Amino acid sequence: MVSNRPDNGNKSQGLNAGKKPSGERRRVPDKKVLPNGAPKKANPNKPVNNDKPSSELSKTSEVDEYLEERIPAKKEKRDKPVTEKIQENLINDALIYDDEKPVFKLRDPSWQSNIPLVLFLFAIVVYGLIVLYSVSAPAGYINSKLTSSAFFVFSQLKFTLVGLALCVVVNFIPIDFFKNRLIMAGAYLVSAGLIIVTALFGAEKQGARRWLTVGGTDFQTSEVFKICLVIVLAIYRVMIMNFQKKGKLKASDPKNQYLKDAFFEFILPVGMIVFVDAIILVQPHLSCFLIVGVVTFVCFLVSGIRLRSWIIGMGFYILVLLAVVAIVFAVPSLRTKAQDKIEKNFAHVFKRVDIYTQDEDQEMTDQEKDESLQVDRAKDAIGSGGWMGTGLGNSRYKYSYVSEAHNDYIFSIYVEETGMVGGTLLILTFLLFLFMGFRIAYRAKDVFCRIIAIGYTFLIALEAMWNIGVELTVLPATGITLPFFSYGGTAQILLLSGYAMILCVARSGVVPKTKNGGN
């Protein structure tokens, strides 16, 4: 039988006829047939694999070759991990921080503003101005010499517009721009310097030296320090992590490395904060002292500091505290001065705590009744509102029955006008803000963004819950105001600047979502 196989130059006959010798390479044809029958041209840029026979090619590899030739961009987008995308965006399109100075580049096209957070900001600011007008109308007439009931609202509106403009600007700055040592040094030195100047030359009101007067406006410098605190801790933590990664903080003796790590991770930053916080305590401003301590603790919790550094650092400061107490009690003159200073500066604190811990059936002295009058009237205002309240603007207790109705005790008048329903909704509003802030922190791309998101979210929510707790008599009376509702121009700008940093993290400091909705 004559074979129709063409002779291709192979001279071997018999059983080995038509087979290639082992030393000869198989020639790859120029064209292939795709699954749909269309001819496919060989890719000149793709190296030819002559080692694998065609029998080893699977259907999956053929489909991948087809996808790579026809839709290479989609295949690359589909196969690239999320972490690679983030790294590529940071290198090519984002603001790069190289441990020395930031380099400003084009923004990443994947950055998008957090619309729910933006809408929440405008809603709570506008609603806060409405509530402030409703509560402060009688006091506005008095302070404006009977010319306008909107005196406090117009004043607050000016500061609010400045704060909102700051939010817009900061929102569009890449978050990595703030990873700068100059920002850390400037924020700490300015805020700490203001605290020191206030302690020396500040205006004294009601026995406390907390205010500075600038341009006819009084403001509490401790509010500036609370806002600067979070970003200072975040930048410091990133700086220390970079130094450790580059081996700049290695101990001469490897056995003592854990001590050096504990010093730079815990002891040094805590000492920087304690120094300023101690001056705040001496002003005296106990509520701010406690807030600074709690916010610092929360920022340290989410900064990834090792447990060994925590133990060594806390042990060090416990020993320092015991040594100071021992010295004070060992020297009679120091002990006398310390006792007099405490009794003078914190007498009002002891009274408030004593009133708070007393039973309702226990009789009070006339002085104690005067001290508790403000809290009692605020509680009566809350109770008189009932379920639905008297309506906005219809409060009776705002007519000088509750002092500082537009400031420290604005929540009690608000509940009187909106009832228990309105008060509950406001509490849920701040809890919603807390949830949104923690969700942003959960999706943060690095420790810097996580500290920023957690720190400012917790600071705003803590002040809100503390103010509400005081007016509900759950906590002893303090001077903490209700964020975005109470009157206070500088406080409004500073709180909005903290909110602006949360917006900045939400826009350019989180891991982008994948198509299935996950991170």
- How does 459-474 read in b/e, with b if 16+ C-beta sit within 10 Å? bbbbbbbbbbebbbbe
- What gap in Å lies between CA 42 and CA 133, rounded to an integer? 75
Q: Which of 71-80, 130-139, 223-232, 386-395 has the lowest mean pLDDT?
A: 71-80
- What gap in Å lies between CA 257 and CA 339, rounded to an integer? 41
Look over the chain and give the mean of its residue pLDDT values, rounded to a whole number.
Answer: 79
- Per-residue pLDDT tens over the stretch 261-288: 999 999 999 999 999 999 998 888 888 9
Closest Cα to residue 237, out of 319, 191, 280, 178? 178
Phi and psi, residue 304, nearest 5°: 75, 25
Dihedral angle over CA of 459, 462, 467, 469, nearest 10: 180
**Count, residues in the chain:** 519
CB atoms within 10 A of CB 205: 10
Helix (H) or strand (E) holding 292, with range, is helix 286-301
Q: What is the mean pLDDT of residues 481-492?
A: 90
- Per-residue pLDDT tens over the stretch 65-84: 554 555 444 444 444 444 45
- pTM score, whole prediction: 0.76
CB atoms within 10 A of CB 417: 23
Band (pLDDT 50/70/90 cuts) for residue 294 is very high
Q: Are 124 and 460 in contact (CB under 8 A)?
A: no
What tokens were used for 353? 């705590």
Percent of the chain with pLDDT over 70: 73
- What gap in Å lies between CA 416 and CA 398, rounded to an integer? 10
- What gap in Å lies between CA 295 and CA 364, rounded to an integer? 36
Q: Tell me the Ramachandran region of residue 14: left when phi exceeds 0, alpha when psi lies from -120 to 50, beta otherwise.
A: left
The pLDDT of residue 160? 94
- Per-residue pLDDT tens over the stretch 371-403: 677 777 888 888 888 888 888 888 888 887 887
Distance of CA 347 to the CA centre of its chain: 35
Question: Cα angle vertex 515, ends 509, 519, to 5°?
Answer: 40
